[in-house]
Copies of this chain bind each other. A is one copy, B any other.
Amino acid sequence: MNYLHLLDYAGVAVFAATGALAASRLRLDIVGFIFFAAITGVGGGTLRDLLLGKLPVFWIKQPLFIGICVIIAVLVFFTAHLVESRYRLLLWLDAIGMAAYCVMGAMIGLEYGISPYAAIVTGISTATFGGIFRDVISGEKSVLLSDEIYISAALLGATSFVFLFSMGVPQIVAVFVGVLLAFGLRAAALLFGWTTPRYKPRQGRKIK
């Protein structure tokens, strides 16, 4: 076990926690908490493995990942009421998970031999789809559609990692920079309300 495994477990754990927090909003029972924790925790990585054809998916080979989701779900079930704002906590944990996964997804793609461009897309997919599954199944508006920068942060993290790693920068440095940039941008968006220029809807030409 090296630092990459830790990053992987951390990514699963924080995403699992956001799934459990979503379950708390839905007032599910403890099995529902586990269900949402697992879907969110391993959802992005499952999509990554499917896209790559790296099957069976990772959590079938290493059930420990599901175990982490179970533990986190139980913890959240009994402690979520202690938190002042569960949605705020969800957003911050989601930010950590996104930062860890956009780099992990890209790296596993590169190790699997896909092109740098495809690795960036795979990284972004890994980072975003756990949250998409959580939000779609729980019937909430997706965090990705909020005003603050989200997908751009995953794009920044995955791209900077892939660029640095392809330039020959040691893996640990490239990983560190990628995760930090992704998290930093998302954190700034959450703290300072950073947004990117958004599509400005104007009235169609019909209405004068």
Contacts and interface: CB of A to CB of B under 8 A. Distances in A.
Contact of A35 (B24, B136, B144, B202): B144
Contacts of A198: 27-29
Contact of A204 (B59, B84, B122, B136): B84
A151 B80 CA distance: 21
B59 A196 contact: no
Contacts of A152: 29, 31
Interface stretch (A2-10, A90-98, A113-121): A113-121
A204 B25 CA distance: 12
A55 interface: yes
Given A66-B121, A83-B204, A206-B85, A114 B56 contact: yes
User: Which has the most chain B C-beta neighbours within 10 Å: A56, A61, A63?
Assistant: A56
Choose among A55, A67, A202 the residue with the greatest number of B CB atoms under 10 Å from its CB.
Answer: A55
Given A59-B121, A115-B63, A145-B26, A155 B204 contact: no
Interface string A102-146: 000000010010110110011010001000100011110110110
Interface string A15-47: 000000001111111111101001000000010
Contact of A24 (B27, B142, B201): B201
B24 A205 contact: no
Nearest to A140: B139
Given A35-B128, A77-B199, 17 more contacts: A27-B199, A27-B200, A32-B145, A35-B144, A38-B121, A46-B51, A51-B56, A51-B57, A51-B60, A53-B55, A53-B57, A59-B121, A60-B114, A63-B121, A81-B201, A84-B206, A137-B142
